[in-house]
Amino acid sequence: MILVTGGAGFIGANFVLDWLDGVDEAVINVDKLTYSGHLGTLRPLHGDPSHIFVRADICDRSTIDVLLADYQPRAIVHFAAQNHVDYSIDSPNDFVHTNIVGTYTLLEAARCYWNGLQSDERDAFRFLHVSTDEVFGSLNLSDPPFSEDSHYQPDSPYCATKASADHLVRAWGHTYGLPTLTTHCSNNYGPYQFPDKPIPQLITNALMGRALPVHGDGQHVRDWLYVGDHCSAIRKILAKGRPGEAYNIGGWNEVKNIDLVHLVCDLLDQYKPKRTGSYRDQITWLTERLGHDRRYATDARKLERELGWKPAETFESGLARTVRWYVEHEQWTHEVATGDFRDWVETTHQKRA
């Protein structure tokens, strides 16, 4: 059995669904169900005894202690995080609380639990912390991609709190011997991603006839990683990664923002064409975002060299799968947009105003 935090969010839920589809091992799924946690994503697991869902805050030490004692997991996979740059600028306290205090709480609970295990179980235990390449800051267009040895240069409250969590994980491994693993992923996309993120926001806005925002000059570059590939990489690292190591997970897909918008529009023109014109007609240019790093790119050669992993999807194939999924699952987006997510967005926009 493994314990997963944040398993009702985008990447966490995809991981849980993927894990239980291919691995004969139960999951304890701990999620606070904030705006980005949606139980509808986990509907395929309803009634599955291998999926144990617990609504809890990772900062609640007593609950985490009870879960570890009762279920005796062999690993913790830590996805739970506040993870939106714009929102971290508006409400940094939430990010400090979840990303730093929450990770500290989990590490301490894991350390106490791990110290009480028998020697074989202690050797087999893993604490895998899912981080981001954004902790390394921004790259110029001519710079080489981020490696695991890149300097930390976080540029927003979100990135700073994730960097802080990374340092805590490293320190608990070095000081206490807790067998930790850290992953740095590039921008994820795929099914079940909330519509506050670029690709689902583009798709949703396009289908609803809304403006398709492009910030600044549209030349910002991101390395895109299909979420299914991310899940397979985490499985590989959990099984074979060396304790104390960090591994970059990238898609080798650097794409300019304006090119991404054009690709999404062209796929929507193919899968759900408008009565007249193209979805490109809805593109609207906006001013630059605060804290908007110019370029991210992730060097994932260590993961391929040491563990034999590389992404299965190209950006073209992964994006086509993603756009088709959203076109065919508009009900899921509707459920999200009319629930806690909508209320949270309205409150956030009121705070900004």
CATH code of the domain in which 95 resides:
3.40.50.720
Residue type, 8: A
Identity of residue 340:
D
For residue 132, the model assigns a pLDDT of 96
Rounded Cα distance between 261 and 238, Å, is: 34
In a domain, 39, yes or no: yes
pLDDT tens digits for range 312-325: 999 999 999 999 99
Contact 119, 75 (CB under 8 A): no
Model pLDDT, residue 348? 45
Report how far residue 65's alpha carbon sits from residue 343's, in angstroms, rounded to the nearest whole number. Answer: 32
181 lies in some domain? yes
Q: What is the mean pLDDT of the chain?
A: 93
Kindly report each contact of residues 23-27 with a partner whose C-beta sits within 8 Å and lies 24 or more positions away, as own/partner.
23/235, 25/1, 25/50, 26/1, 26/2, 26/50, 26/51, 26/52, 27/1, 27/2, 27/3, 27/51, 27/52
Considering the domain boundaries, does residue 196 fall inside one? no
Q: Quick one: pLDDT band at residue 36, thresholds 50, 70, 90?
A: confident
**Total count of domains within the chain:** 1
The region, left, alpha or beta by phi > 0 then psi within -120 to 50, assigned to residue 18 is: alpha
Residue 347 has pLDDT above 60, yes or no: no
Given a cut of 60, is residue 57 above it in pLDDT? yes
* Residues 71-95, mean pLDDT to the nearest whole number: 92
The pTM of this model reads 0.92
How much is the pLDDT for 14? 98
Quick check: 340 pLDDT over 80?
Answer: no
Q: What is the mean pLDDT of residues 81-93?
A: 88
Min mean pLDDT across 28-37, 48-57, 338-347 is at 338-347
The pLDDT, as a whole number, for residue 339 is 58
Instruction: List active site positions.
Output: 133-134, 158
How far apart CA 137 and CA 298 sit, in angstroms, is 12
pLDDT at residue 161 tops 80? yes
Within a domain: 28: yes
Q: Are 215 and 54 in contact (CB under 8 A)?
A: no
Percent with pLDDT over 70 in the chain:
95
Expressed as residue numbers, the domain containing 12 is 2-191+225-253+295-314
Residues 265, 283 contacting (CB under 8 angstroms): yes
Percent of the chain with pLDDT over 90: 84
| In-domain check, residue 210 | no
Mean pLDDT of 260-266: 98
Q: Is residue 303 part of a domain?
A: yes
The answer to whether residue 325 sits within a structural domain is no
Mean pLDDT value of segment 251-273: 97
Give the Cα separation of 67 and 80 in Å (integer): 16
Place of tokens 């910030």: 215
Residue 65 in any domain: the answer is: yes
